[in-house]
Structure 1
Amino acid sequence: MHEQRPRADALRNADKIVRAAIAVLRERGPEVSLEEIARQAGIGSATVYRRFGDRDGVIRAAFQTYFAEEVEPLALAARDAADAGGALAEALTAAVDTLAAHAGLLKAARQSGAFTVDIAERFMGPLGAVLTRAQEAGQVRADLRVRDLAAIIVMALATAHSGDPAPRRYLALLLSSLRPSDDLLPEPSGHPLLKPGA
């Protein structure tokens, strides 16, 4: 019992830090310091360093938490839709919208290397079943993979800027590429895709 309490406290502190990071990045933008995050969480900077290593570690944890809580449920909700092709487009659009609305967190995640196709693919995994149904119905290309859907999110958000935070035109162009085609896509590279701006 005595050994479990510090673990529970550590988990609570980690959660406070992550929630503070999400809030502060949204309010003040990507240049917020680790000390400001610690202050917002009501936890000493030394504890934050000990738990996350550095500011990038906090941002990675905050971004993954945000993705798990705000983006992954969009993918999960799409699984029950009658129109699989429409559900794919809606889930991708909603994911881009919610991420674009958190510009400070998104920019910080890019700078820290937290926003990658690998991360997006991990949380968009539930769309695999929807993608299969859409392919079987002839609504989307037969050679699409979940990783392609994750890449669409990353590519669309690469076009977002302060004057056009929700890049609907470019997302629409990318979504149009999902339509069935006789042209086969090349096999994906064995190398991980670079983070935006790399």
Structure 2
Amino acid sequence: MRADAARNHERIVGAAVLTFEEIGPQATLEEIAARANVSVMTVYRRFRSRDQLVRAVFDHVLTTELQPITAVHTDDPWQDLTGMLEAVTEVLARRRVIISLAHEFVTFANESTQLFMQALEPMLRRAIDAGVVRPELLPRDLTVITVMNLATVHPGDSQGEDRRRYLALLIDGLRPSPVTLPPPSPHDFFEPPRADEPAP
């Protein structure tokens, strides 16, 4: 990608992040182009459809805001893990519109979730090896905890008190316990059912 094309790409994606969050999922490519200070034709040259731009926006959030959080590695595996869950929740709470847009594309959302779980695995493995969390935990458990915590995000809680309270409750369930968790289903939680599978 040429340097000017790369600059336009980053400018458009950055503008799209802000425009979607400020205006909502109905934000148009014209509004994004104006925010990026480029022509609409430039947006269409870089992204052949609105769907491609949404995917680029979510990729941007994943690689620049979420994945760096999972790379934290100190000598305190418990703090690394719980701090990561808290930080990821804060990012996603600010990006609710973008997350909802990404989920319009089931395959893409699942691909991104799988990548995120892969990024979580080393941090979870260190915590298990240190004996500070349940040994039966799986990366998908951490992803589900994040999803459950996001259900507590609401407009009346501008300071994030509810999401911090309920995340603390969820995190407490990660600690070692004499009672083993029931096994998960064999079906991938984040994978949509196949067409030939019966409805629940």
Query: What per-residue deviation string (whole Å, max 9, x for no partner) do you get for residues 49-80 of structure 1?
Result: 34323223212211221221122111112x2x
Please tell me whether the aligned partners of residues 121 and 150 of structure 1 are also in contact (alpha carbons under 8 angstroms): no
Residue 133 of structure 2 corresponds to 140
2: CA distance, partners of 1:108 / 1:190: 22
Residue 157 of structure 1 corresponds to 150
Residue 185 of structure 1 corresponds to 183
Residue 122 of structure 2 corresponds to 129
Letter matched to residue 165 of structure 2: R
Letter matched to residue 30 of structure 1: P
Please tell me whether the aligned partners of residues 85 and 134 of structure 1 are also in contact (alpha carbons under 8 angstroms): yes
Give the deviation of 1:191 after TM superposition.
6.5
The alignment covers a number of residue pairs equal to 187
Residue 63 of structure 2 corresponds to 68
> Cα 1:43–1:53, aligned 2, differ >3 Å: closer, same or farther?
same
Residue 168 of structure 1 pairs with residue 161 of structure 2: no
Please tell me whether the aligned partners of residues 135 and 141 of structure 1 are also in contact (alpha carbons under 8 angstroms): yes
Scaled by the length of structure 2, the TM-score of the pair is 0.77
Please tell me whether the aligned partners of residues 116 and 193 of structure 1 are also in contact (alpha carbons under 8 angstroms): no
> Cα 1:90–1:191, aligned 2, differ >3 Å: closer, same or farther?
closer
Give the deviation of 1:19 after TM superposition.
0.7
2: CA distance, partners of 1:59 / 1:109: 7
Residue 196 of structure 2 corresponds to none
Query: What per-residue deviation string (whole Å, max 9, x for no partner) do you get for residues 154-192 of structure 1?
Result: 332233222236422332333233223423422441464
Residue 34 of structure 2 corresponds to 39
Match of 1:101 among 86, 89, 94: 94
Give the deviation of 1:8 after TM superposition.
3.3
Give the deviation of 1:115 after TM superposition.
8.2
Query: What per-residue deviation string (whole Å, max 9, x for no partner) do you get for residues 8-40 of structure 1?
Result: 333222111101111222333333112111121
Counting aligned pairs with the same residue, the percent is: 40
Residue 44 of structure 2 corresponds to 49
Please state whether the residue corresponding to 2:25 is helix, strand or coil.
coil
Scaled by the length of structure 1, the TM-score of the pair is 0.78
Give the deviation of 1:110 after TM superposition.
4.0
Letter matched to residue 152 of structure 2: T
Give the deviation of 1:121 after TM superposition.
4.2
Letter matched to residue 22 of structure 1: V
Q: After alignment, is 108-117 or 146-155 more displaced?
A: 108-117
Give the deviation of 1:92 after TM superposition.
0.7
Which consecutive unaligned segments of at least 5 residues does structure 2 have?
193-200
